[in-house]
Amino acid sequence: MGGNCSKDAQKQTIQEDEEDTMDNPRDNDYKARLEQKLCLSKENPEPIFDLSDCNLDKLPLSFAFLKVLRKEILILGKNQLKTLASGGDLKELELLKVLDLSHNKFKVLPTTIYHLKNLKELFLSHNQLQRLPNVLNRLQQLELLDVSHNQLVDIRSISFMPNLRILNLSGNDKLEILPPELATNDNLHDLVFDIENIKSPSNDILSTGTQNILKFLSTGELTAPSDFEVEDNVIKQQTQSKITTSRIINESMSSSTKKFLQKEKVHAAEFLDHELNETFLKEQQKKKKEMLNALLLHEKQQQDAVHKIYLEKDDERKKLIDDIRQYEESSTLVVNELLTLKKATIDAELLEQEEIERDKLLEKVHLEQSDLRKKDVLSAMSQLLEQELDLIQNYNDERSKTSKVFLEEDSKNNLLLNEIFTEYDKNRVELVEKINQDEEWQKSAVATLIAKNDARSWGLMEQIKIVEAQIAAMTNYELDKKKVNQEEFLNDVAEKRANLTMVLLDLMDQQEKRKNQLLETLSDMENQRTDDDFWLMQYQKLIDQRDGVMQKSQASIDPVLGYNFLLNGVIHVMPFLLKIWNKKDFDIQKITENDLENAGIKNSKDRKGVMKSIKDFLSSKSIENNNNERDDSDLEEDEACCSKKQVPTAPQEITKSPTSSASSSSQEQAINNAVECVVCMDAQTRVIFLPCGHLCCCINCSKDLNQCPMCRGDIERKIKVIQA
């Protein structure tokens, strides 16, 4: 009778599991469900690790964390598992007490399952098992074994398990024999099977109950039960008095009355047994519902928390994508303009203008040789060289101050440098005197001054600085993307960076060609000279031609104005603008198209582009000045409230030209684009690697590198950036 009750309860449990499975739609996102359950299992302090209904075909890597998390219940039901080998060593799961592998595709259990020494309940129903491993009886703590709905033929391995109490064999259509080995399980009192499939023992024996079946399997004998024998002790106690009374009545009543009373007693015993079973099942169902409600409530709370975190992450991701899209649009515009500039042919009028200036220079050399002042030339040349030596000295002084921090390690090097500098200072006077007689030094001084005054060289230098600034910005942008794990957006950036690198190489080639042209000009001048003091007189002539405005124009152009020239495609006309910049009464707000045409810009499209660039530049400056004035007015109001005796005076308005604000703007741009070296994380980046185009290393760290530290590409060439 106990076997039949357990069989009914097991069927009801299986039916509830099947109904739960049907409630879940097949098109659920299994991956999201797996991640959610892993997260909940790790955060939940309960000893349950539930990965059921996740469509798993192999165990996840987090399977090994069960021992760390001290989990005792592992639920892997309703998956596609065929083996446990992919999840790690079963030795790590020795703490498990309950293992659920039901509703999978197991054909054979691993022989290492005996490592689960503390396992008490093992569920293997609804698989494809044909046999059980011989080491199964080493699970000495096992109390419940469910192998229902498989393809088992032989169950002799279920033996000598002293704690086994419940065994479910139902649903195994090929199982025809209950082996004698089952009798070795001393505490087995609930055996569930399909009586219509079992051929040995016979149905008469199978219908007598679990204990009689085990006794028959062990001894081969069967004790016939009495008509009113009941296994449950509670039923015996309740029906004992009735049985005694019935015996007395049976002695005095007729045979027909005895049969009637006998049937009534049987019905009473069955009714009492049925009521007990119903009460037990109701209590079990009530406990199960309470447990399920608690689990569902906890799981819902966890899902709400995970959903909230997911929404926050999604908002951050959308915001980041919008920022990246805006930056990519701006970068695309700049790259397109640079590519257009690279493909554009050199303006024929610019070449013609350079030829005219060269002819005028040669002509003036022949006409004014006798009017040069030799002493002033020598003084100016000496002064120029002294300035360069002072720059070297200042650099060395700054380096000495920095090296004091490492005085103990670098003392020998400092002493050696001091000796070299001392000896160098002693030779300065001799060097200045020698300059008066050394013709090669005079020639180099003239070449340096010509290069500083050359408009074409200055224009190329400004374009190179702008390209380098864009490369630095793209490298910085790429580093920011990698920090937020957005590497899928870097393909477009890599292509743009490669195009910028090609533009930079082209500009450097043009700069080298221009340098060679200047050297050819010097060679022509040297071939035509007739005086020993030729180079001194040429230097004096160039000094006389320079004025204060020209010296100011040598400074870098305002990056904002240069960026506007680049966007409007007129960066190539910057050398012509020097004529306007050199005027004493220069005011950028008063420039007209006639001024641009007089300066040599004949193309009307270029003139319109220059005017539009200047207009945009002035608009941005006006907005910036308004913001500064608003901040200054707020500051003055605060100061007036603090002290009434002091009357603040408004500062005089200073109109800054694009060249006068070049220093501050360049510093701001350097600060914005400055990126720490990815190797030493200390110095700023100063070297561009080719062909990848990354600006990510300082000078010292780049010396020993053969591969780019960002993209791991081979380095074919290294270029030091111009801007500080």
Confirm whether 657 is domain-assigned.
no
Q: How confident is the model at residue 378 (pLDDT cuts 50, 70, 90)?
A: confident
The secondary structure of 353-406, three-state, reads HHHHHHHHHHHHHHHCHHHCCHHHHHHHHHHHHHHHHHHHHHHHHHHHHHHHHH
Range with the poorest average pLDDT among 107-121, 170-184, 210-224, 512-526: 512-526
Contact 581, 554 (CB under 8 A): no
- Calculate what percentage of the chain has a pLDDT beyond 90: 14
With a cut of 60, say whether residue 370 has pLDDT above it: no
Range with the poorest average pLDDT among 51-60, 113-122, 358-367: 358-367
With a cut of 50, say whether residue 248 has pLDDT above it: no
Q: Could you tell me the CATH number of the domain that includes residue 163?
A: 3.80.10.10
102 and 205 in a single domain? The answer is yes
pLDDT tens-digit readout, 422-441: 787 777 767 656 665 566 66
With a cut of 80, say whether residue 707 has pLDDT above it: yes
628 and 715 in a single domain? The answer is no
Rounded distance, CA 436 to CA 704, Å? 42
Contact 158, 185 (CB under 8 A): yes
Can you give the pLDDT at residue 629?
A: 64
Nearest CA-CA partner of 471 in 506, 498, 509: 498
The per-residue DSSP string of 567-587 comes to: HTT-GGGGGGGHHHHT-TT--
Can you give the pLDDT at residue 582?
A: 66
Q: How confident is the model at residue 171 (pLDDT cuts 50, 70, 90)?
A: very high
178: left (phi over 0), alpha (psi -120 to 50) or beta: beta
Q: Which domain holds residue 704?
A: 675-720
Confirm whether 649 is domain-assigned.
no
pTM: 0.34
The residue-averaged pLDDT of 74-79 equals: 92
Confirm whether 156 is domain-assigned.
yes
Q: How many CB atoms lie within 10 A of CB 369?
A: 16
Q: How confident is the model at residue 375 (pLDDT cuts 50, 70, 90)?
A: low
DSSP 200: B
With a cut of 50, say whether residue 597 has pLDDT above it: yes
Which segment, 353-357, 628-632, 639-643, is predicted with the most confidence on average?
353-357
Residues whose CB is less than 8 angstroms from the CB of residue 687 and which lie 6 or more positions away in sequence, other chains included: 695, 697, 698, 699, 702, 718, 719, 720, 721
Encoded tokens for 140: 């000495």
Residues whose CB is less than 8 angstroms from the CB of residue 711 and which lie 6 or more positions away in sequence, other chains included: 494, 692, 694
Nearest CA-CA partner of 505 in 463, 472, 473: 463
Strand partners, 718: 689
502 and 616 in a single domain? The answer is yes
262 and 384 in a single domain? The answer is no
Place of tokens 């906890």: 298
Contact 479, 576 (CB under 8 A): no
Place of tokens 């409230």: 641
Which SS3 state, helix, strand or coil, does residue 697 take?
strand
With a cut of 90, say whether residue 168 has pLDDT above it: yes
Range with the poorest average pLDDT among 398-402, 428-432, 485-489, 666-670: 666-670
Q: Which of 252, 283, 318 is the last residue of a domain?
A: 318
Q: Name the residue with higher pLDDT: 354 or 217.
A: 217
Can you give the pLDDT at residue 191?
A: 92
One-letter amino acid of 454: D
Q: Which of 171, 205, 225 is the last residue of a domain?
A: 225
With a cut of 50, say whether residue 388 has pLDDT above it: yes
Buried b (16+ CB within 10 A) or exposed e, 424-443: eeeeeeeebeebeeeeebbb
pLDDT tens-digit readout, 445-464: 666 666 666 656 777 777 77
Contact 152, 172 (CB under 8 A): yes
pLDDT tens-digit readout, 309-344: 888 888 888 888 888 888 888 878 887 777 777 665
Can you give the pLDDT at residue 449?
A: 62
Q: How many CB atoms lie within 10 A of CB 572?
A: 18
Confirm whether 559 is domain-assigned.
yes
Q: Could you tell me the CATH number of the domain that includes residue 693?
A: 3.30.40.10
The residue-averaged pLDDT of 636-657 equals: 40
Which SS3 state, helix, strand or coil, does residue 666 take?
helix
Contact 464, 506 (CB under 8 A): no
- CA-CA-CA-CA dihedral for 252, 257, 263, 268, to nearest 10: -60
With a cut of 80, say whether residue 567 has pLDDT above it: no
CA angle 640, 646, 649 (to 5 degrees): 80
The residue-averaged pLDDT of 195-212 equals: 88
167 and 19 in a single domain? The answer is yes
Range with the poorest average pLDDT among 16-20, 210-214, 516-520: 16-20
Can you give the pLDDT at residue 452?
A: 62
104 and 221 in a single domain? The answer is yes
Q: How confident is the model at residue 2 (pLDDT cuts 50, 70, 90)?
A: very low
403 and 455 in a single domain? The answer is yes
Can you give the pLDDT at residue 398?
A: 79
The residue-averaged pLDDT of 6-18 equals: 43
- Calculate what percentage of the chain has a pLDDT beyond 70: 66
428 and 465 in a single domain? The answer is yes
Can you give the pLDDT at residue 122?
A: 95
The structural domain count of the chain equals: 4
The secondary structure of 124-173, three-state, reads CCCCCCCCCCHHHHHCCCCCEEECCCCCCCCCCCCCCCCCCCEEECCCCC
With a cut of 70, say whether residue 18 has pLDDT above it: no
75: left (phi over 0), alpha (psi -120 to 50) or beta: beta
Confirm whether 9 is domain-assigned.
yes
Contact 588, 618 (CB under 8 A): yes
Confirm whether 499 is domain-assigned.
yes
pLDDT tens-digit readout, 272-287: 777 777 888 888 888 8
Q: How many CB atoms lie within 10 A of CB 678?
A: 17
278 and 360 in a single domain? The answer is no
280 and 429 in a single domain? The answer is no
Place of tokens 């590198």: 705
Q: CA–CA distance from 31 to each of 34, 50, 299 (Å)? A: 5, 14, 17
The residue-averaged pLDDT of 18-32 equals: 55
461 and 371 in a single domain? The answer is yes
| 192 sits in which H/E element | strand 190-192
411 and 378 in a single domain? The answer is yes
Nearest CA-CA partner of 565 in 607, 511, 619: 607
One-letter amino acid of 168: N
Confirm whether 415 is domain-assigned.
yes
Q: Which of 637, 665, 686 is the last residue of a domain?
A: 637
Mean pLDDT of the chain: 74
Confirm whether 669 is domain-assigned.
no
Encoded tokens for 645: 């005796």
The residue-averaged pLDDT of 690-710 equals: 86
One-letter amino acid of 361: L
